[in-house]
Amino acid sequence: MLKHVVFLTFKPDLSETAIEGIFNAVVSLQHTISTIINIEKIDNITHEGLDQGFRYGFILSFKNEAGRDAYLFHPDHVHVAEQIVFPALQDGKNSIVVFDYIEATPSSLATKQDTADISS
């Protein structure tokens, strides 16, 4: 499964109600873009001080890269990104980070024995 992780920094004067509206618009995409398996809204709760201002985000799940690509170029996604999300960002596209990865399957995870062998 492919995970599409998006981190955002909104304008400081944006209300929580406005932010919730933005996330509702993003979540609604799963009703019009069939390749989206799931959308999860996430809030950064770290206390490490390493978040660089990225307080909000979401994770979208897709079966594969083709599903993600269909989403990226879908007119509904383009509309939500350009008309709703980007204008609310603190510093435009400098206030967004996107990170995609293929979720590990149990067979691809290192076991304790594998880890022990590496550290020996």
In the chain, what are the domain boundaries? 2-119
| CATH fold for the domain made of 2-119 | Alpha-Beta Plaits (3.30.70)
Instruction: Give pLDDT tens digits for 87-99.
Output: 999 999 899 999 9
Reduce the DSSP state of residue 63 to 3 states and report it.
coil
Cα 116 to its chain centre, rounded Å, is 33
pTM of the model: 0.82
pLDDT at residue 117 greater than cutoff 60: no
Confidence of residue 104 (pLDDT cuts 50, 70, 90): confident
Q: In what order do the strands lie in the sheet with 96-102?
A: 36-43, 56-62, 2-8, 96-102
pLDDT band, very low/low/confident/very high, at 111 (cuts 50, 70, 90): low
Using DSSP's 3-state secondary structure scheme, residue 88 falls into helix
Q: Report the chain's mean pLDDT, rounded to a whole number.
A: 89
Phi, psi of 5 (to 5 degrees): -105, 130
Average pLDDT of the segment spanning 30-51: 89
- Percent of the chain past pLDDT 70, that is, above it, reads 87
